[in-house]
Structure 1
Amino acid sequence: MEKLDEFDIQIIKELEKDGRIAYSTIATNLKISNTMVHQRINKLTEQGILAGIRPIINEKKVGYDWGAFTGITLNKDHDSDRVIEALKKIPEITECYYITGSYTLYIKMIAKNHEHMRKILYEQIDSIPGIAKTDSIIELGCAFKRNISL
């Protein structure tokens, strides 16, 4: 994989400010050609550095007031692929990580209220075969979230 140069970094920074910015505006701002912007963004996408440009939804504004981080202990760690496929089917689970320590997996989930959260945990997650235990921490708000600085 090629190393990022200053143009790549500046293009990424422009996209971080506004993912809908026109490529021609990026070209003007950086004093480079529109073609160069297109080529660089295509290259960054092909290399997997840019995984896509999508909207960031404010979950609270669309009625999801509760968030939780949940550690999941499996009966057998080799069941993780099957459990992950089942977790993917629950739309309120927005992130899932392999971790070390007391849990096998760590998920982030959102819910509309405490009753919705309880149903996700007890009726959906706990019913997945192979899950031995869950341990949840309620999220009280995100202080910040950002990409790595380039």
Structure 2
Amino acid sequence: MDAVDEKIIAELTHNARMPHSELAGKVLLSRNAVRQRVERLERQGHIAGYTIVRAGEDTGDVASALVLVYRQDRMRGGDVLAALKRIPEVVVCEILSGDFDIMVRLEAASLERVRSIWEDIAKMPGVRDTVTALTLSSVVNRPRRGRSSTARG
């Protein structure tokens, strides 16, 4: 990736629906050269997908936290997992080996919402205890390859 590729990604991050002709003007290349670069960036996994942001939604930073969950019965705690699947702010839920049973990553619109979800998790039947850590900053946040469910048309 060179500086032009970085500029293309920055522009598409700001507006993923930007036409190639407009993008070409911003990066000082022909429309065809931009199209070829975007296709290469997609093939190489630098662009893994495109997303939709609904009008009126807060597009600022989200509050995120890790919640480590101890279940009362590790082997028969399926109800806890089912309940966690129903919380839209749960972006990752993994069963762990070791001391903790479940690791949950929350991404919510506010710290208040994170607190509310944490309270809900702590009150769930089958949850013995939780340990929660708020995310202060993100150092690495790589998209997982091969998991994109959307593509640019």
8 Å CA contact 1:64–1:111 kept in 2: the answer is no
- Structure 2 CA distance, aligned partners of 1:76 and 1:56? 39
1:138 to 127, 130, 134: 134
Q: Please, what TM-score do these two structures have when normalized by structure 1?
A: 0.57
1:16 aligns to 2:45 (yes or no):
yes
Measured after TM superposition, the shift of residue 16 of structure 1 is: 1.5
Q: The residue matched to 1:87 in structure 2 has which SS?
A: helix
Question: What RMSD in Å do the two structures reach over aligned CA positions?
Answer: 3.2
Q: Please, what TM-score do these two structures have when normalized by structure 2?
A: 0.56
Q: The residue matched to 1:78 in structure 2 has which SS?
A: coil
Measured after TM superposition, the shift of residue 139 of structure 1 is: 0.6
1:127 aligns to 2:127 (yes or no):
no
1:65 aligns to 2:71 (yes or no):
no
Kindly, what percent of the aligned residue pairs are identical? Answer: 22
Task: From the superposition, tell whether residues 15 and 55 of structure 1 become closer, same or farther in structure 2 (CA, over 3 Å).
Answer: farther
Q: The residue matched to 1:85 in structure 2 has which SS?
A: helix
1:84 aligns to 2:101 (yes or no):
no
CA offset digits 1:13-69 (Å, max 9, x no partner): 7151234xxxxxxxxxxxxxxxxxxxxxxxxxxxxxxxxx66498xxx635521101
User: Hey, which of these two has a bigger chunk of helix by percent?
Assistant: 1
In structure 1, the gaps of 5 or more residues are: 1-10, 20-52
Letter of the 1:132 counterpart: R
Matches within 5 A, 1:98-137: 98-122=95-119, 124-137=120-133
Across the two proteins, how many residue pairs are aligned to each other? 105
